[in-house]
Chain A
Amino acid sequence: MGRFTTWFHRMGSPRWFFDLSRPWLVGFLAVGVTLLGVGTVWGLGFAPPDYQQGDSYRIIYIHVPSAHLAEALYVAMGVAGIVVLVWRMKLADMFIAVTAPVGMAVTGIALLTGAIWGRPTWGAWWVWDARTTSVLVLFFLYLGIVALRQAIPRADQAGRAAAVLAIVGTVNVPIIKYSVDWWLTLHQPASITFTAAPAMPPSMWVPLLINMVGFYALVAAFLVAGLRNEVLLREADAQWVRDWLERAS
């Protein structure tokens, strides 16, 4: 076996992950809480008001990070789905199991903050335009994965079905991304892109960037914590978990 395949399979071992991941959890949590605190205080208290929307635009500092993360988590599940189907890697299956409810909650944040922002800005809590509708579909895709896992009693079949839905559902992600360009919509296009100068002054987009990284880090910490629990639960009968329990108690 080549060095890469050895590394790849070791990485897929639940025990390897459990032994290494504690410092990741602490690091992600520290970075996430700090950045989200700084970005939120900055965005709410110090960023200037928008010349058209006034102060309601400040919802952007949670809406955009949560929406972005909701899409990224689904893509991550899609990649994990391929790993499940091709290499039967247990850790990837656990990742989907842990990520689906978290992604659903993050999508819920994006939808709710969007609705609350829409009321004073568009005059409606909800509009059936391409962006909002495709994000609602994303929410139901997450829900579908959660439900599939619970509905199928045999763990390996449930895992494979969830992996298939994770892979197939990723086609929705580019639809969400380009929906504001492909269709006429109330939704404003992206304010910050990699290719053009931001459509905002730095005092507005720097806290947004901070909150985006903060959201990613904080949710990464939640996922690592959830994955550690999932490993313990599924490997509860393994000798290494029993040894670890001895040492922990």
Chain B
Amino acid sequence: MGDGSGSNRSNSNKPEWLQQYDLIGKIGEGTYGLVFLARIKSQTNRGKSIAIKKFKQSKDGDGVSPTAIREIMLLREITHENVVKLVNVHINHTDMSLYLAFDYAEHDLYEIIRHHRDKVNQPINQYTVKSLLWQLLNGLNYLHSNWIIHRDLKPSNILVMGEGEEHGFVKIADFGLARIYQAPLKPLSDNGVVVTIWYRAPELLLGAKHYTSAVDMWAVGCIFAELLTLKPLFQGAEVKATPNPFQLDQLDKIFKVLGHPTLEKWPSLANLPHWQQDTQHIQGHKYENANLYSVVHLSPKSPAYDLLSKMLEYDPRKRITAVQALEHEYFKIEPQPGRNALVPCQPGETFVNYPTRPVDTTTDFEGTTSMQPSQPVSSGAAVSGSMAGGHVSNRSVPRPMNVGGMQRIPHQTMQAYNVTSQAGISGGMNPGGIPMQRGVPQQQLRRKDQMSMPGYPPQQKSRRI
């Protein structure tokens, strides 16, 4: 939005810090805020893309959300090329909102996987899978060696940089649930926090009282498998009772693929509350044959399978660590992992052009629901009209997305945004010429699941406990 164009109500009380950015539009939405795409105006870094995560003031009148506090707290201390970079924090005192500015990442694993599954209809090439995995482990090793557990790793939280200096670099994002584990950590559920169950380690599903870094490695295993097959490995149906229901179906999905856990292989299993109590008779389920290799279409003798099975080791104490995984044979054989995960360095390899994130250019920083579908034309014109030379282009094509771990924009609100028909201007932004549907709810079923498993609970809930 141009300064002084004055057509937008937000300009009247636009805080000073905001003037250093050109707002492009909204790129994500979550239970606790919105994410915007903006570009830096200043000479140094001019045009650099920034993702700005806005935290809403919590409804229960308890100030800055603890999630935001802890995310800032951690991100302010860590720097690693495979961890998302917090470039700035801003506060708007008038409406008491808090903004985190990150280096913008064009892609994430959720979108990359979905693109392969639904659009190009072919697996992700081996070089890319291996490079993504290696960088993910590299970032995770950094976190773990600094005693930080992420606790909510999932494809949508693993970002990948678009074209530029760091093209194809993996960035671990969303540290709202991350913890320093110098002191034993209570289960997230004790704080009323709900995270998606598909990537949840079996010890947590069985009621383990404390987190270890092994829970992140389990999630990495699930993500590895998903990169290979383009399908979530353990797609359990979530039980949504309060406050920490036993996730029978999720465990059942795991047992079916990995075989039943045994006390011989996992001695501390006996101490896990849900296993001990066994109210739903999980001990009685008998899935004898592990068939992980056939599910992921790998030879049981391949290094890839060996690494995957070590990540999906039941006993958290035996599960491979990030540093061990980085040393695994899989990363030493061809193709070797590279720094640009999206573009193989070997000539002759084909690579995929991934679509850019859709940007909803009708929402401004105050971008509240009131601005939404009812009057997209007027507000949209005000914002997009002042944007420099059409570089938004086909970004206005709605595509549910995520950045910095935000929930995707619900497609209902997206559908109205076809009005900003700038799709034709671009050319450059979608070099692969990948046809993108406009406003069609894609992956509706999957998204429904996602929306009903918000990464974060209503803030009141976590605070009441």
A and B interact physically: no
Which residues of B are in contact with A by a Cβ distance under 8 Å?
none
Which residues of A are in contact with B by a Cβ distance under 8 Å?
none
